[in-house]
Amino acid sequence: MLIVPEAAIADLITPEASFDAVEAVFAAMSKRDAYNFPVVREAIGHEDALYGFKGGFDQSGMTLGLKAGGYWPNNLERRGIINHQSTVFLFAPDTGKMAAMVGGNLLTALRTAAASSVSIKHLARPDAKVLGMVGAGHQSHFQLRAAAQQRDFDKVVAWNYHPDMLPKLGETAAELGLPFEAVSLEGLGEQADVIITITSAFSPSLMDAHVKPGTHLACMGTDTIGKQEVEAALLARATVFCDEVAQSTTIGEAQHAVGSGLIDISAVNEIGAVINGTHPGRTSNDEITLFDGTGVGLQDLAVASAVVEIAVEKGVAIEVDF
Ligand code: NAD
C-alpha cells in the first residue's frame, strides 16, 4: 500500500486538480455511477470530540474507501494542532486490499472549496463581478481562492459574525489582487453577484431580503442537523442545487426549507445533473441559484485518489508491505 502523509499534500495537489476531481465525481453521482454510504458521526464522550466515517464507491473513477476523522475542539489550544483531523483510506475495488492512506486535513478544505467553485462555474452569471463572503474562518480562505478562478471578479465584499477575523481574509483577497471591503449584510447582498457562506452558525445570518435577483449562492457551512446560514425563505425564491439530495435535505441548508414545508424535496436538484447537461441550470439573468454543499465522502475519495496519482508520478508516495 501507499502512504501520502499530510505534510506532503500541499506540494502535490493543486486547486485545479481538486476542481477536476470533484466535478467528475458530482457528475458520476448524478449518473448513478457513484454513491455515498450512510454517514456515521458520533460524539464519543471524550475531549468533546465528534468522530465519524464518510465513504463511498465510484465505479467510473474506480475509487472505493472512506474518510475517517472529525472535530476535536481542544486541539489548537492544548496541543497546537488543528481541530479538524481526518485521514482517507482507499481500497482496491477489485480485491478489497488496502491501496492507500492519505492525509485528509488539507484535502478537506480543498475539496470543499472545489465544490463551491464547481457550482460557481456552472450556475453563476458569466458576468459576475463582485464576490461576497459570509464567514472568515479557516475554510473561507480556501473558498475565496477557488472562487476567484471561476469568474473575472473585480472586488470582494465580506461580512463576518466576528469582525476581527475579516482583515486576515482581506490579506487573502490582496494576494489574489482583489480589492476587499468589509460591509454590512445589507451592503453585501446589494453588491454581490456571487455569495459564499461558510460559517458554523446555528441561526441564519443572510436573509432573503438581503439577496438581489441574479445572485448565485454557495452555502457551504451547514453540514449538521440544526446548523443554518441563510433564511429558509431564500431557498423558496431560489433554484436549489446540492451535492447530494439526501444529505442536503437532512443535514444541509435545505433541511430547514424542506422541514418547514417551504419547498418540496423534489425542488432540490443535483449539481451533477447540470454538469451532465440533464438539468439546464440557470435559465435567466434574474434567477437566484443556490448550491447547498454539505460535503460528501466521494469528494474526499476523489481528491485523495488524485493526490496518490500525483505522489506516485513524483516519486513521493511511501510504499509499505501490508
Ligand atoms: P472556523 O471555526 O474556522 O470558522 C467559523 C466561522 O463561523 C467564522 O467565520 C465565525 O466567525 C463564524 N461564526 C461562528 N459563530 C457564528 C454565528 N453564530 N453566526 C454567524 N457566524 C458565526 O470553521 P471553518 O473550518 O471555517 O468551517 C466553517 C463551517 O464549514 C463549519 O460549520 C464546518 O463544519 C463547515 N464545513 C463544511 C464542509 C462541507 O463540505 N460543506 C467542509 C468543511 C467544513
Kindly state if the Cβ of 269 falls inside 6 Å of ligand 1.
no
CB-based burial, 131-141: b 16+ in 10 Å, e otherwise: bbbbbbbebbb
What span, in angstroms and rounded, lies between the C-alpha atoms of 27 and 116? Answer: 14
Say how many Å lie between the CA of residue 200 and the centre of ligand 1.
Answer: 3
pLDDT in tens, 27-36: 999 999 999 9
Atom of ligand 1 nearest to the CA of 162: 11
Q: What are phi and psi of 3, to 5 degrees?
A: -120, 130
pLDDT in tens, 202-217: 999 999 999 999 999 9
pLDDT of residue 115: 98
Around Cβ 80, how many Cβ atoms within 10 Å? Answer: 7
pLDDT in tens, 34-78: 999 999 989 999 999 999 999 999 999 999 999 999 999 999 899
Q: Where in the chain are the domains?
A: 2-108+298-319, 116-295
When the pLDDT of each residue in the chain is averaged and rounded to a whole number, the result is: 97
Average of per-residue pLDDT across 173-196: 98
Kindly state if the Cβ of 160 falls inside 6 Å of ligand 1.
yes
Q: Is the pLDDT of residue 14 over 90?
A: no
What span, in angstroms and rounded, lies between the C-alpha atoms of 104 and 108? Answer: 6
| Axis crossing angle, helix 138-148 with helix 15-30, rounded to the nearest 10 | 90
Say how many Å lie between the CA of residue 135 and the centre of ligand 1.
Answer: 7
Q: For residue 22, give the nearest of 306, 216, 222, 247 by alpha carbon.
A: 306
Say how many Å lie between the CA of residue 117 and the centre of ligand 1.
Answer: 17
Question: What's the length of the chain?
Answer: 322
Say how many Å lie between the CA of residue 2 and the centre of ligand 1.
Answer: 32
pLDDT of residue 308: 97
Instruction: Supply the residue whose CA is at minimum distance from atom 29 of ligand 1.
Output: 221
pLDDT in tens, 124-161: 999 999 999 999 999 999 999 999 999 999 999 999 99
Average of per-residue pLDDT across 302-308: 97
pLDDT in tens, 249-294: 999 999 999 999 999 999 999 999 999 999 999 999 999 999 999 9
Per CATH, the number for 2-108+298-319 is 3.30.1780.10
Q: Is the pLDDT of residue 309 over 90?
A: yes
Kindly state if the Cβ of 198 falls inside 6 Å of ligand 1.
yes
Kindly state if the Cβ of 82 falls inside 6 Å of ligand 1.
no
User: What is the best residue among 140, 160, 200 to mutate for testing ligand 1's pocket, by most ligand atoms within 8 Å of CB?
Assistant: 200
Q: Catalytic positions, please? A: 67
Instruction: Supply the residue whose CA is at minimum distance from atom 18 of ligand 1.
Output: 201
Q: What share of the chain is helix, strand, coil (3-state, %, to 5)?
A: 35, 25, 40
**In angstroms, what is the C-alpha Rg of the chain?**
19
Indicate the pLDDT class of residue 15, thresholds 50, 70 and 90: confident
What span, in angstroms and rounded, lies between the C-alpha atoms of 130 and 126? Answer: 12
Cβ burial of 81 (10 Å; 0-12, 13-18, 19+) is exposed
Kindly state if the Cβ of 162 falls inside 6 Å of ligand 1.
yes
Say how many Å lie between the CA of residue 254 and the centre of ligand 1.
Answer: 17
Architecture field, domain 116-295: 3-Layer(aba) Sandwich (3.40)
pLDDT in tens, 116-126: 999 999 999 99
Atom of ligand 1 nearest to the CA of 111: 40
